[in-house]
Structure 1
């Protein structure tokens, strides 16, 4: 499969939510705690959604979501490329469309990831400097 076998776009109405949910709920190490309703809320409230589709089948094979104030700050989340379609540069193309070719090219971007650091470094991501602080989320799965 080559580069021409894929189409990327940022039309949020085209994103097959069942496919996003299926991947995030079974494959994502970072978000398995979310319910379908929570993922739907995140998709509804996203500033931008970018997706990659396999041209011959129309299947969703890559995805990225961003949250932003629309002016100076954006958060990149839920980036994935499905297993069979990795190794074709789709991760780079998704990030490029989301960040460099989108309305947030001049914004300060942040993300949390446990892997793919090399990919994100290519787009200017680096370890936070002394001006950054993070308050970790407190997930309570048992609310009894």
Structure 2
């Protein structure tokens, strides 16, 4: 199967992104559809992977940045039926190395796929990094 990748925000299929992030992602399931829409709309860059024959979106990555020296990678996924075709690597290649942030400092938080991210220069933080965890979210009810 052939795939196309690009960083055109107008091509992102929000229903596909929402469906995966709200059910499959082990991170951030507390977000509402409106939250995800806001994150996509405010992203510095988004990259999508699409089936060449149907145009169906099968992968996604989002980044926020100051546009000069720092970028944060988030919400990277490839639909399970399309894994094993190198799409994760291609998403990161387009997002990081082939994009306008190739020389920036990139960060991400992830509990998996460390081997993939290491191929793009990610490493565990050293003593120069500090993180403030999110505050507990209040649920309505």
The within-5 A match list for 1:84-95 is 84-95=81-92
Whether 2:24 is the aligned partner of 1:27: answer yes
Indicate the residue corresponding to 1:55 in structure 2: 52
1:46-82 C-alpha deviation (Å, 9 max, x unpaired) = 0000000011111100000000000000000000000
Helix, strand or coil for the counterpart of 1:13? helix
Unmatched runs of 5 consecutive residues or more in structure 2: none
Aligned pairs for 1:1-144 within 5 A: 1=1, 5-142=2-139
Gaps of 5+ in 1: none
Find the aligned partners of 2:84 and 2:15 in 1 and give their Cα distance: 24
2-side partners of 1:112 and 1:88: how far apart? 24
Aligned length: 141
State the alpha-carbon separation in 2 of the partners of residues 61 and 143 from structure 1. Answer: 32
Task: Please provide the CA RMSD for this pair.
Answer: 1.0
TM-score by length of 1: 0.95
